């Protein structure tokens, strides 16, 4: 084996992004985290992961199964929406809570 000089490295991403018009816009705070691992053998697909409400600190696991990508997507959405308080109500309210009228 040979050592490679182009080893992967973590590059920090700034919290302030350019809007393209010379203005800088700060990103909003994180209100929820959703991490999903998807496994498939061609005949069935399983999605497992975790969801965290960063405001309340609650965490829960998420699991869905499907025979096709569409079935998996529906099962995953159904699973997330049926979670107690942490689920769709809390995360979506945090994500879509305030409307921006321009």
Q: Are 46 and 64 in contact (CB under 8 A)?
A: yes
CATH assignment of the domain containing 72: 3.30.160
Residue 45 forms part of a structural domain: yes
What is the C-alpha to C-alpha distance for residues 92 and 86, in angstroms, rounded to an integer? 10
What is the pLDDT, as a whole number, of residue 10?
Answer: 73
Q: What is the pLDDT of residues 5-59, one digit of tens each?
A: 677 777 776 666 656 665 667 778 888 888 999 999 888 899 999 988 888 888 8
Count of domains forming the chain: 1
Residue 12 forms part of a structural domain: no
Give the range of the structural domain holding residue 39, as residue numbers without chain letter. 30-96
Q: What pTM was estimated for this model as a whole?
A: 0.53
Residue 10 to residues 6, 13, 18, Cα–Cα distance (Å): 12, 9, 21
Residue 9 forms part of a structural domain: no
Residue 23 forms part of a structural domain: no
């Amino acid at each position: 084996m040979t050592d490679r000089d182009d080893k992967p490295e973590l590059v920090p991403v700034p919290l302030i992004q350019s809007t393209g018009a010379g203005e800088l816009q700060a990103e909003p705070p994180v209100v929820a985290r959703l991490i999903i691992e998807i496994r498939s053998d061609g005949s069935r697909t399983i999605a497992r992961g975790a969801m965290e409400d960063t405001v309340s600190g609650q965490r829960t696991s998420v699991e869905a199964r499907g025979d096709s990508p569409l079935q998996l997507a529906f099962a995953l959405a159904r699973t997330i929406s049926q979670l107690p308080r942490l689920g769709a109500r809390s995360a979506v309210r945090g994500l879509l809570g305030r409307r921006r009228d321009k």
